[in-house]
Structure 1
Amino acid sequence: MSSQKGNAQRTRPQRYKNSQAFINNLHDTSKEIKRLNSLTFDFLCSRCTDVIQWKVKYKKYHQITNPKVCVKCNRKSVKHAYYTICTDCSSALKICVKCGKSDGSITFDSTEKQDVNQQFIDALKNVRERERHVLLYLQLI
């Protein structure tokens, strides 16, 4: 037996091997699965992002029904599943909303990115055409 005490090595290979990868929307094409696949997770470190994306990929992600209490400010403002800190506290303290660590590789909010893109587009309107082409070329690189 492989689980027998003192007999940690196993000589035979794994018995059952998956020939195809799991696809979470193969048989279930509901709106909920489509929405879960299109979710973006903000204010998370890279490890927590991978964990939550794994849960979505293998249909282990469960939505939250009621808002939870934030562990920093003690308000019922956590509206996403698996988050422990609200986004206001996370952005103020620059920490991950799931694990609470400040690694520095925390993703920004998608609305902040849209604001930056909108400011860039507005700035392009006031620039000469040659400079506009240069800026757009540099943005593509």
Structure 2
Amino acid sequence: MSSRRGPPKHQNSYAWKPNAGIKINETEVGGKFRPYSEITGVCPRCKEQIDWKRRYGKYKPLKEPAKCQLCTKRNVRQAYHNLCSGCAKEQKVCAKCRCRVDQIVGRDSADVEEEQKMLEEAIKNARERDRRTLLRAKRVTPSFQISTGAMLV
């Protein structure tokens, strides 16, 4: 054991940044033009773990879909997930740690597609004046409009 006490001898003057000296290709995954996909289907604790990996350069995205541990199909599309989104929803568990959770982070791609279809349907069935308003709102924030139910006329 050390007998030294008190503050550290040296203090970092700036925070460590991963790949600080390496120029990142903006067209590669994780670059400016192809950002990482949204983290979905996991509990808040697992989301923080995956965020940490992304922040500190430890994140490795999947090259090809992985095998689900329940249905044994190659349906796992996100890195560090053990279950496909269908099995995780069916079992009501986190797709990474498989613990039962009431609150799951993010939305599934099927939910987003369903929301888009609902928005298109609302735009088709609306009057001309409302249609213009909906199209303007779609350009701003479609998810907010649908979640509040303000757009369905």
TM-score, length of structure 1 as denominator length: 0.68
Partner of 1:42: 40
Give the drift of 1:119: 0.7
Q: Which moved more, 1:67-76 or 1:98-107?
A: 67-76
User: Among 45, 57, 60, which residue is 2:58 paired with?
Assistant: 60
Between the aligned residues of both structures, percent identity stands at: 26
1:1-141 matches, within 5 Å, as: 4=1, 10-13=5-8, 15-20=10-15, 22=17, 27-30=22-25, 31-34=28-31, 37-65=35-63, 67-106=65-104, 107-128=106-127, 139=145
Give the drift of 1:91: 2.3
How many residue pairs end up in the alignment? 135
TM-score, length of structure 2 as denominator length: 0.64
Residues 105-140 of structure 1 show CA distances to partners (whole Å, capped at 9, x for unaligned) of: 212213422321331232133234676659x5x839
CA distance in structure 2 between the partners assigned to 1:53 and 1:99 by the alignment: 15
Unaligned runs of 5+ in 2: 138-143, 149-153
CA distance in structure 1 between the partners assigned to 2:56 and 2:34 by the alignment: 11
CA RMSD, 1 decimal: 3.6
- The secondary structure found in structure 2 opposite 1:33 is coil
Give the drift of 1:76: 4.1
Unaligned runs of 5+ in 1: none
Residues 23-80 of structure 1 show CA distances to partners (whole Å, capped at 9, x for unaligned) of: 6577332213317743212212222122112211211012345654422223443343
> Does the CA contact (< 8 Å) of 2:29 and 2:36 recur in 1?
no
